[in-house]
């Protein structure tokens, strides 16, 4: 059975890896499981969704079978984290076009600003159960 909260992320992106680590640190309930978009599990999930996280330059949240992209994914994730991060979900009141344009601008420049690794993140033994 697939977990109810899955985050697909760019496994070679330094910013994306930092985001995953941030989510893990502030996910007190342990809701989220993770898969790099480039991993076998990530590719399978994307195939089932009929989407490509790398083409959309987005982190994807799949919650209870529904996919969230770009700023919607980030704000849905934030809304499930511990306080004060939960309050970031209030940014959903802003129009999606505005939120997504900011998200996309950062996503397009993420490798230039934060760097790119040559291989996907390998979780430590203590975090292995959080990854698919």
Segment 88-132, tens digit of pLDDT: 999 999 999 999 999 999 999 998 999 888 777 677 777 788 998
CA atoms within 13 Å, Cβ hemisphere of 47: 7
Segment 28-60, tens digit of pLDDT:
889 999 999 989 999 998 888 888 777 767 889
Peptide bond into 84 cis (omega under 30): yes
pTM listed for this prediction: 0.89
Q: What is the mean pLDDT of residues 57-84?
A: 92
Give the per-residue pLDDT at 32: 96
Answer whether 47's CB lies under 8 Å from 67's CB.
no
């Amino acid at each position: 059975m697939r977990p109810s909260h899955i985050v697909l992320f760019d496994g070679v992106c330094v910013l994306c890896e930092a985001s995953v680590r941030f989510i893990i640190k502030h996910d007190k309930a342990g809701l989220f499981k993770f898969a790099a978009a480039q991993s076998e599990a990530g590719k399978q999930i994307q195939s089932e969704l009929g989407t490509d996280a790398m083409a959309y330059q987005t982190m994807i949240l799949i919650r209870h079978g529904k996919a969230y992209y770009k700023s919607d994914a980030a704000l849905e994730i934030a809304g499930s984290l511990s306080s004060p991060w939960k309050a970031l979900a209030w940014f959903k009141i802003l129009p999606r076009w505005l939120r997504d344009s900011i998200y996309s601008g950062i996503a397009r420049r993420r490798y230039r600003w934060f760097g790119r690794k040559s291989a996907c993140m390998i979780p430590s033994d203590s975090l292995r159960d959080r990854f698919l």
